[in-house]
Amino acid sequence: MSKQGRSRPAGVFLVCPLNATAKNANFTATITQEWWSTTFKQSIANIGHVLLVLMPWRDPVPLTRAWCLWEIFCGISNEGTEVTIQLPNSEEQALEDAIRDSYKAVTDTLVRVQAQRADAFNPHDKHMIFTAIESWAGGFGAVNQAVKDQLRAWCLQKAVGAVEAMRARGEDSTDAFAHLCHSVGLVLDDFGQHDRAIAFYEAALAIYLRTEGEKGENVAALYNNLGGAYDDKGEYDKAIAFYEKDLAITVEALGEKHPSTAETYGNLGAAYRNKGEYDKAIEHFEKALAVFVEALGEQHPSTAQTYNNLGNAYKNKGEYDKAVAFYEKDLAITVETLGEKHPSTADTYNNLGAAYENKGEYDKAIAFYEKALAIKVDTLGEKHPSTASTYNNLGTAYYSKGEYDKAIAFYEKDLAITVETLGEKHPSTADTYNNLGAAYDDKGEYDKAIAFYEKALAITGGARTAAHSQC
């Protein structure tokens, strides 16, 4: 998903200059929304380039300022206008250090990018800016996505650049180089660039095999990460082969009854489940469960997660009563250890809803989806992708009941949030358009159905599928 920007055009470009005028309430009060939406926006188009300086990189201040947000919006909504993100030198170094030491800090920063948090000195200005953005087809989702894409590209450039710099200095056979390659691979993996991640994992693995030997701790970790990357790619046999290598080292080094061994059994189970071999998946999940219960106890989140995994496997097999039984075990532990008002509790309610929906017990499904929704709104907020997916699930349950108007109402709530948070061109947006099409199709409103199917098709290029839950 790394994107190379166009070369910088000759001449001047805009650097968020509105702070001075935006703070002058008398000035901005005399300017109409039409002026900002036409004259000012066209001025940015004429300049052709907006430069956004982000600091601190972990929570950039400009993204909290509505006028800077307006300039970003004008840049991304004008065809041919380039928006470039830069970091000060000190922030570049801080970002590079984070990539080396804690790759999750990078992805956590991307999660925090929410343009809706922006504020303005003058409430009228904020209202004008938010109204303009919300009325645009892409809305806040497009603004968030544009900034995330730029940050993602920047992070990847810095990460790969750090590896290349070490290689240029002749340090590409050291454990430090292997550590950096491993960290960069994790970042790439998180960003969905699995082929590039695999290349960095393999570079790190080659060094650790030489310095630690076949049974080294870092070797096992890299086998595990390679398994995860191939699993995400859908190459399940390769994933299983790497997980088995990890398992052999982990069992010999730590023993059969160690939580790390259980984690690898769980990964193997997930790969077999993804492959469609549900009995093998269940076999490995049961091994993981036995170890977790003995090593960590019944009342532990890892134990709960394994019950959830077993529930998923039985649901995939069509054995919904068994799935429900495992989800209920997961729920009891999750509520006890994390509380009723926790996103993980909501996820389990959602899974129970899906199992009952598959059983044809739609009222029970709806009851569990509503519990999940209440928790997600409370803990994650209304404008969150996970909240949107629960609205979608309520829609599919009502769709399955034949209550198409209620289904459409929930799908529309899902759509509004999904477009705002993930963007118009996201696969989840396509799914919701497709579900709306299916509901109108079954209502006999074929023109509306076709319009929604065409919107879904424009995003995915694929064929229509039946309405479905997002579990």
Give me the percent of the chain exceeding a pLDDT of 70.
Answer: 87
C-alpha triplet 188, 316, 378: angle, nearest 5°: 65
Q: Is 242 contained in some domain?
A: no
Tens digit of pLDDT for each residue in 109-155? Answer: 666 677 777 887 788 888 888 887 877 766 777 777 777 777 777 77
Tens digit of pLDDT for each residue in 348-391? Answer: 999 999 999 999 999 999 999 999 999 999 888 888 889 999 99
Give the CATH number for residue 370: 1.25.40.10
Residue ranges of the chain with per-residue pLDDT less than 50: 1-23, 463-466
Residue 22, sorted as left (phi over 0), alpha (psi -120 to 50) or beta, turns out to be: alpha
What CA–CA distance (Å, rounded) separates 215 from 245?
10
> Into how many domains does the chain fold?
3
pLDDT of residue 359: 96
Do 216 and 150 sit in the same domain of this protein? no
Measured in whole angstroms, how far is the alpha carbon of residue 4 from the centre of its chain? Answer: 22
pLDDT of residue 89: 80
How many CA atoms are closer than 13 Å to the CA of 369, on its beta-carbon side? 27
Tens digit of pLDDT for each residue in 458-468? Answer: 998 754 444 55
Token duo for residue 125 = 């200005």
Quote the domain boundaries for residue 222.
169-233
Do 133 and 187 sit in the same domain of this protein? no
pLDDT of residue 5: 32
What CA–CA distance (Å, rounded) separates 469 from 354?
8
C-alpha triplet 377, 381, 384: angle, nearest 5°: 105
The per-residue b/e assignment along 313-347, b for 16 or more CB within 10 angstroms, e otherwise, is: bbbbeebbebbbbbbebbbebbbeeeeeebbbbbb
Give the C-alpha distances (Å, rounded to integers) separating 225 from 138, 176, 257: 35, 18, 21
Do 148 and 190 sit in the same domain of this protein? no
pLDDT of residue 464: 44
Do 146 and 221 sit in the same domain of this protein? no
What CA–CA distance (Å, rounded) separates 335 from 301?
10
Do 87 and 125 sit in the same domain of this protein? yes
pLDDT of residue 403: 98
Q: Is 318 contained in some domain?
A: no
pLDDT of residue 107: 65
